[in-house]
Amino acid sequence: MDLLNTLVDKGLRRELPTREEALAVLATSDDDVLDVVAAAGKVRRHWFGRRVKLNYLVNLKSGLCPEDCSYCSQRLGSDTGILKYTWLKPDDASRAAAAGLAGGAKRVCLVASGRGPTDRDVDRVAGTIKAIKEQNEGVEVCACLGLLSDGQAERLREAGADAYNHNLNTSEGTYADITTTHTYADRVDTVNKAHAAGLSACSGLIAGMGESDADLVDVVFSLRALDPDSVPVNFLIPVEGTPLAKEWNLTPQRCLRILAMVRFVCPDVEVRIAGGREVHLRTMQPLALNLANSIFLGDYLTTEGQAGKADLEMIADAGFEVEGTGEVTLPEHRVEAAAGRGSGCGSHEGGSSHEGCGSHGSCGSAGGCGSHEGGDVCGTTAAQEAPAAQEARTDLVAVRRRGAGTDLAPNA
């Protein structure tokens, strides 16, 4: 297929595809999905080999969020039955992190629900970062706390944070349809603050909220312009009690096409499969490792994930290997560029590639950017329409009842 050959060549050169090419990837048929995966896999292996980076989420403060993000089980007024608790103490958070690190994770993402942290909250998180780093040698730490005020990113960096996660989630044109209590521009501002402070930036998206192909391409092109070190791709987990609980728009094949499109547009960036892979990729998860070089281990913020042991077996059975703590995640040219601007970007010895949150269970943890390269995708074709709803698999969605905020051992 000429399209795929062209995209592989561009990916190896770090050249941006056209929007029409990105749309064409999403419009390929299920019959072609293995060819799409094979092509994007060449780009993934060129920049990241067969390594898979493992990340672990610690939900520092769950529920009780004042924001109204439609996808989020922690949103204002939600009745989802999730765990609700206030800030974990530093030692409790460190113990939770240690479980994930023992399972093979090299990065911990500290997440808290809410619009954004107060200065006192930043002090709390700083103490938690210190506890984790003192008790776990070589760990990378990412903070995911929502919208940042002036000076807070610098304080997190001084406290030892390597990265900051704030997801863009959807296209600028449709953002107001999912959230009204803050704006797309607010998200842009926070990611820019993280960049300016020398933190490794992470920003990603949520697929499956009823968006069109054009929306998906728009958000991924905006992320390319934002230039984060990592891009988490969430697949909506339709939790009962949220406004998007009836949105079952994804098939395993569509998820693979979305991941392939992200890889072609962001060839040398850490692409992470975040929330929802178990729900929507299901038995096709191993194929997705040919596209993404990073996953979360175990459970998510408010929902259960695949058992950590099963994650490790899946990686090995698919012919991949867990990235070690001494290995640099990102390609050398990105590490060097980050060093020039004061952030580590994937080098454990110098900072971090970002992973961070990426799991859409946290209202406050979002990202931001804008399309600096030409606005919306022009035109709408049948291939760009939002896909038809699929059969609901509510049996695959389970609220987290273990780990942080409970007395039960975490799934790591």
Angle at 50 between CA 47 and CA 54, to 5 degrees: 100
Beta strands, E only, 94-229: 107-112, 140-144, 163-165, 200-202, 205-207
Show Cβ contacts of residue 13 under 8 Å, excluding neighbours closer than 6 positions: none
Q: C-alpha distances in angstroms, 401 versus 142, 303, 368?
A: 23, 8, 31
In this structure, the number of other CB atoms found within 10 A of the CB of residue 223 comes to 25
| Catalytic residue, candidates 19, 65, 157, 224 | 65
Nearest CA-CA partner of 264 in 296, 334, 336, 216: 216
Handedness of CA 40, 44, 47, 49 (dihedral sign): negative
Sequence ranges of the binding site for [4Fe-4S] cluster: 65, 69, 72
Residue 202 bears catalytic tag: yes
Sequence ranges of the binding site for [2Fe-2S] cluster: 109, 142, 202, 272
- Alpha-carbon distance of 273 to 289, in angstroms, equals 9
* Helical axes 213-226 vs 252-265, angle rounded to 10°: 30
| Catalytic residue, candidates 19, 44, 107, 109 | 109
Give the residue carrying structure tokens 């093979």.
104
**Burial, 15: exposed, middle or buried (Cβ in 10 Å; 0-12, 13-18, 19+)?**
exposed
Token representation of residue 293:
């070089």
Return the exposure string of 385-400: e unless at least 16 CB atoms fall within 10 Å of the residue's CB, then b: eebeeeeeeeeebeeb
Residue 72 bears catalytic tag: yes
Alpha helix (H) ranges present in 285-368?
Answer: 285-288, 308-317, 332-341
Residue 266 bears catalytic tag: no
In this structure, the number of other CB atoms found within 10 A of the CB of residue 61 comes to 26
- Alpha-carbon distance of 347 to 409, in angstroms, equals 31
| Catalytic residue, candidates 44, 107, 157, 202 | 202
Sequence ranges of the binding site: 65, 69, 72, 109, 142, 202, 272
| Catalytic residue, candidates 69, 144, 357, 363 | 69
Residues tagged active-site:
65, 69, 72, 109, 142, 202, 272
